[in-house]
Amino acid sequence: MPLHVTESCLVFARQLGDEVVLSGFNLGMQSATVDLPIWKLGIENAEFRCPMSQQILSAAQGVLAVTIESEQSLLLVN
């Protein structure tokens, strides 16, 4: 399910049961900060973790704020 789509940035979700994986790509020359409407996945409050960096991001009230650096990608799991 696409959660954010622009000319240079795409973030989408894959969901199986309670597990959610968020994948994002920023092909632009500037970082992109976006508020993802994870309420569309039936999630209001949750923590997401990057399996590569171990960074943890918290969602509140159905929104997860993420920043994807220029020409980088993002992978988060709950």
**12: enclosing H helix or E strand:** strand 9-16
33's tokens: 């900060």
Write the DSSP string, 28-68. Answer: SSS-EEEEE-GGGGT-SSEEEE-TTT--EEEEBTTBEEEEE
- pTM of the full predicted structure? 0.92
Which residue, among 26, 29, 35, has the nearest Cα to 74 in the 3D structure? Answer: 26
Question: 19-65 pLDDT, tens per residue?
Answer: 999 999 999 999 999 999 999 999 999 999 999 999 999 999 999 99
- Beta partners for residue 72, in sequence order: 26
- Average pLDDT of the residues in 2-13: 97
